[in-house]
Chains A and B, each alone.
Chain A
Amino acid sequence: MLNLRTILLALLALPFLLTPARAQDVDIPASIAAMGEANLRELTQLVSDLAATGDPAVIPALEALAEGDLYLDETSGTVVVQRGSTHLDPVSGDEISLGEAADLSRIRVNNSLRRDIAAALSGMTLMSDNPRTRLSAAQGFTARPDAANLPLLDEAIAAETDTAVLKAMQTARAVTVLGDGDSALEDRQAAVPIVAQSAGRAASTILNAALAEAPEALQATISSAIAGLEQERAVWNALQNVWFGMSLGSVLLLAAIGLAITFGVMGVINMAHGEMVMLGAYTTFLVQLVIRQNFPFLLDQSLLIALPVAFLVTGAIGVCIERGIIRWLYGRPLETLLATWGLSLILQQTVRSIFGPTNQMVIAPTWMSGSFEFYGLSITYGRFWIFIFAAVVFAMLLLVLNRTPLGLQMRAVTQNRRMASSMGIRTPFVDAMTFGLGSGIAGLAGVALTQIDNISPNLGQNYIIDSFMVVVFGGVGNLWGTLVGALTLGVANKFLEPYAGAVLGKILILVLIILFIQRRPRGLFALKGRAVEQ
């Protein structure tokens, strides 16, 4: 069966064999066609055969293979490239219409094959017309240096006009020369500073690898370059740690800031706060689901669309909770604690029954994926935008509390309920709105957390303790305290983690907070005045 198919494929490919001879004796269409039935070992051989032709005609097929876009139609035995809903011939690039009976199965590759393909492609695309392709080819050479490529690199460098690409090519050349035992010692020595300067985060990997195999004369140069790099890194590492800490702090801030309203301003011990965060995350999931099914072009904006929806949904639920449960329990903190704890369990199990216990998926928009280099810092986009978002939410909340009539009423009611009431403020309405605002902000945190945590019914539980910790540490009733508290805890955590490990680090933080609260029971920014005495 299998043999028959191979013979048929070979026969089909016969006309190509008769066309003018290619660079080598490899029959490109037949080799690509043979990929359909090949096992991993055969596939590796086919890829190296194809790469050896140096023929640009094989590039689309190899790219598709590495990307997982190359498919075998089990019915007809043809190999096709799948692009969206269309199917292309892997050699000519012409569109093929597959019959109704088509049964596509992907031609799968593993890591080592992916590396082989990337190496082969860099060789073939180094002279491409597109500067971006040339750049990625040069980067490919840096990642997989091979002395056999030196002449090709030299040729490409001579012809290169784009400065960025030229720099990448020179880096690739330096890396290759450095690792090549046959190159002259002076050349290898000259390559060391180029590698140290321009290979970025990979520089120390490359230099360390070269150090192991370098002759003695070269070792001194490499060692001093590594020492220099390490010194530089030490400074950047400290800064990097500060960033990690601020980023962790911004997540804590987002999670805690809603609680700073319900617990801090209103004095309600709200154990269901975490579940508001969780509901915000599930709202995001639902919004994205609707967008994916009905408006796929908006997918990249789905998080932005989810923000107001999550705010309104969790805010409305918050109002219902306040009106239904909490308003009967004002002034009875123990009962409130138990009631909201029970509520949090109910919410969790409800979500589990509806959506199932498994994690749900929210796709990261492209503008939140990957990372960028900022001088010596490596910053991931996801964390960066969450940081910005936390800052914006905080600023908005300050504005609402200090510059709007609602904010004024909130402060009035929390400071002296009876006097506010005699002034004509509808205190029940203000209570409901305040609780709704706090819950809505928890929902916003949920939207952001979809990007870094599991969307599961347990999502909120992971944050409730941390949130209380931040609010108590920062000082109950003070938003600035929450901000400073969150950032301090984040940065302290990240500086302890490398020394103490993640587990012990967390314990140390708790111990420090206990000690701190002993000294200053009202937290960092204690409220002063008569309001405190109530």
Chain B
Amino acid sequence: MTVVNRMIAGLGLGVTMTLGGFAGTAIAQEDTIKVGILHSLSGTMAISETTLKDTMLFLIEQQNAKGGVLGKQLEPVVVDIASDWPLAAELARQLIEVDNVDVVFGCWTSVCRKSVLPVFEELNSLLFYPVQYEGEESQRNVFYTGASPNQQAIPAVDYLMNDEGVERWVLAGTDYVYPQTTNKILEQYLLDKGVAAEDIMINYTPFGHSDWQTIVSDIVTFGSAGKKTAVVSTINGDANVPFYRELGNQGVAAEDIPVVAFSVGEEELSGFDTTPLVGHLAAWNYFMSVDTPENEEFIAAWQDFIGSTDRVTNDPMEAHMIGFNLWVKAVEAAGSTESDAVIDSIVGLETPNLTGGVATMLPNHHITKPVLIGEIQDDGQFFVVWETEDLVPGDAWSDFLPESKMLEADWTAPINCGNYNTETKTCGGAPAAQ
């Protein structure tokens, strides 16, 4: 019964999705504000990004029920970038030039963001990017509502070092820009903290890697040097299930070698039986299990919108919610949806997040976030075992890399620069890094 229902619901969803896309391009009304949604609805990233598209539709519906923005209704324009990054740049251009959207919410991977960046710069539009990323970037037209490394990776390593007494580190990641940069920052951070180079093992695997036997066995061997060992995982979504399965099968228990992941959330865990993973960790700025009235309300409204109490919420969804609310506030403060006006008015605005704190848009276009460390439970949820006392402001340029530690981003007058060099007092990055 339930299977059949789900099938029907799924078919329905597919049809409405397509219709939504067509309706968006066909009707051009002057009395609406158009919001572009630029996510992959097919291809490898569909697994993560489809939910974000639904989140945006949900947020827009809620806002319209409250009377919209500036007295106008919001109109979503959905496009499918099909996990194809050149296509993402084309569709971003189409959204801005043809569909005349005033703001775009979208992208998941760093490569997607990097490929649409020039378009937003050229056409002076706005992009809200909701996923944790590697930092080392700040662009005037982009707002980074996910975590930068100092809001996720560094606190997680601190937790393992101080609370779990970890002395030996495996940095395992998928072979692309986010893990590479994050691991570069982490390696430097660990070396600065006095960890010996031979106590750090770095390992990269291709996208969708499914045979983890050798690597897990290497990790076990690496962990048998008599020092407490932990794995810091920047392994990307699809490869995680086989990785954790192999860990479970080879008997790597969280009590012995804990794995802390930066890309594994409730959505990814909903795909498998988490019993063998209990105790492994993840670092995020939001967990579905966080017990606050705001969160409870958000989950209830989301599940009501999507029509299933099985659907989970996760960190990038919260980031989209924060980004959306900040944009609404900025538009209302500026009295206009015009990009320059919004960029000027959004810095310093605040909106409550779902964990009982406040997200503030900083001059570097990042936001303040709490950092939470959660242990995986057998129901696929996380139990928060540690959190920062204060909100952590996002840092665009890492202070731990020699080539970026003197850089700051500040999009307010008089600096107005994404890579301001505090040593030479000039805009334009570090000469050494070129």
Binding site for B on A (CB under 8 A): 40, 68, 106, 108, 110-112, 114-115, 118, 143, 201-202, 204-212, 240-241, 244, 247-248, 251, 286, 289-290, 293, 348-349, 352-361, 363-364, 369-371, 378, 380-383, 451-458, 461-462, 493-494, 497-498, 501-503, 506
A293 to B225, CA, bound (A): 46
Q: Is the CB of A111 within 8 A of B164?
A: yes
Given A247-B213, A359-B241, A370-B249, residue A212 in contact with residue B226 (CB < 8 A)? yes
Flag if B225 contacts A111 (CB, 8 Å).
Answer: no
User: Which residues, 301 to 341 on B, are CB-close (under 8 Å) to A?
Assistant: none
B44 touches A501 (CB 8 A): no
- Contacting pair A205 B224 (CB below 8 A): yes
Q: Is B47 an interface residue (CB 8 A)?
A: yes
**Given A353-B13, A359-B241, A369-B276, A248:B267 Cβ within 8 A:** no
Contact status of A454 and B241, CB under 8 A, knowing A370-B251, A381-B249: yes
Q: Is A115 a contact of B210 with CB atoms below 8 Å?
A: no
CB of B273 within 8 A of CB of A358, answer no
- Do the beta carbons of B217 and A378 come within 8 Å of each other? yes
Distance, CA A477 to CA B211, complexed state (A) = 27
Q: In the complex, what distance in Å separates the CA atom of A359 from the CA atom of B240?
A: 11
CB-based nearest A residue for B374:
A110
Q: How far is the CA of A455 from the CA of B242 in the complex (A)?
A: 10
Q: Quick check: B217 and A354 within 8 Å, CB to CB?
A: no
CB of A205 within 8 A of CB of B226, answer yes
- Interface residue B69 (Cβ < 8 Å from any Cβ of A): no
Q: Can you list 23 pairs linking A and B with CB atoms under 8 Å apart?
A: A111-B164, A111-B258, A201-B220, A204-B225, A208-B225, A208-B226, A240-B217, A352-B14, A353-B10, A355-B7, A357-B50, A363-B273, A364-B245, A369-B276, A371-B251, A382-B245, A383-B249, A454-B271, A497-B215, A498-B214, A502-B204, A502-B205, A502-B214
Give the residues in chain B near A241, CB-CB below 8 Å: 214
Contact of A210 among B208, B226, B249, B273 (CB under 8 A): B226
Selected from B241, B250, B273, the residue in CB contact (under 8 A) with A378 is: B250
Contact with A along B10-44 (1 / 0, CB 8 A): 11011000000000000000000000000001111
Q: For the complex formed, measure the closest distance between the CB of B82 and the CB atoms of chain A, giving whole angstroms.
A: 10
Q: Is the CB of B50 within 8 A of A383?
A: no
Q: Are A380 and B249 in contact (CB under 8 A)?
A: yes
Output the least CB separation between A382 and chain B (Å): 6
| B53: min CB distance to chain A, Å | 10
- Residues in chain A near residue B225, CB distance under 8 A: 204-205, 208
User: B7: nearest residue on chain A (CB-CB)?
Assistant: A354
Contact with A68, one of B44, B215, B218, B377 (Cβ below 8 angstroms): B377
| Segment 276-319 of B: residues with Cβ below 8 Å from A | 276, 278-279
**Alpha-carbon distance between A208 and B211 when the two chains are bound, in angstroms:** 29
Q: How far is the CB of B294 from chain A (nearest CB, A)?
A: 20
Which residues in A have their C-beta under 8 angstroms from that of B224? 201-202, 204-205, 208
Q: Which residues from chain A contact B75 at a C-beta distance below 8 Å?
A: none
CA distance A454 to B245 in the complex (A): 10
Pairs of residues from A and B, 7 with the lowest C-beta to C-beta distance, nearest first: A359-B271, A208-B226, A209-B226, A353-B14, A380-B249, A205-B224, A357-B46
Given contacts A110-B385, A380-B250, A503-B175, contact A209 B164 (CB under 8 A): no
Interface string of B227-259 (1 = CB under 8 A from A): 100000000001001100110111100111010
Chain B residues whose C-beta falls within 8 Å of the C-beta of A360 in the assembled complex:
271
User: B270 contacts which of A108, A143, A212, A359 (Cβ < 8 Å)?
Assistant: A359
Chain B residues lying within 8 Å of A40, measured Cβ to Cβ, are 385
Question: How many Å lie between the Cα of A108 and that of B220 in the bound state?
Answer: 27
Extra contacts, 18 of them, besides A108-B383, A208-B224, A451-B245 (Cβ < 8 A), are A40-B385, A68-B377, A68-B378, A108-B377, A111-B375, A112-B164, A118-B255, A204-B224, A240-B217, A293-B2, A355-B6, A359-B241, A369-B249, A371-B249, A453-B242, A456-B271, A457-B46, A501-B204
In the docked arrangement, what's the CA distance between A355 and B3, Å? 9
B412 CB within 8 Å of chain A:
no
A378 to B218, CA, bound (A): 13
Q: Which of B50, B215, B248, B255 contacts A502 (CB 8 A)?
A: B215
Residue B418 is within 8 A (CB to CB) of chain A in the complex: no
* Residues of B29-78 contacting chain A, CB below 8 A: 41-44, 46-47, 50-51
Contacts of A357 in B (CB 8 A): 41, 46-47, 50
Residue of B nearest to A244 (CB): B213
Return chain B residues, CB-CB under 8 Å to A383: 213, 249
Contacting residues, chain B, for A363 (C-beta < 8 A): 273
Shortest distance between the CB of B48 and any CB in chain A (Å): 8
CB pair B377–A111 under 8 Å, yes or no, is no
With most chain B CB atoms within 10 A of its CB, the pick from A494, A503, A506 is A503
User: How far, in Å, is B259 (CB) from chain A's closest CB?
Assistant: 11
- Report the Cα distance A2→B251, complex, angstroms: 40
Counting chain A CB atoms within 10 Å of each CB, which of B10, B211, B256 scores highest?
Answer: B211
Q: Which residues of B contact A458 (CB under 8 A)?
A: 43-44, 47, 208, 238
Are B206 and A453 closer than 8 Å at their CB atoms?
no
In the complex, per-residue mask of B186-208: 1 if CB is within 8 Å of any chain A CB, else 0: 00000000000000000111101
A456 and B48 CA atoms in complex are apart in Å by 12
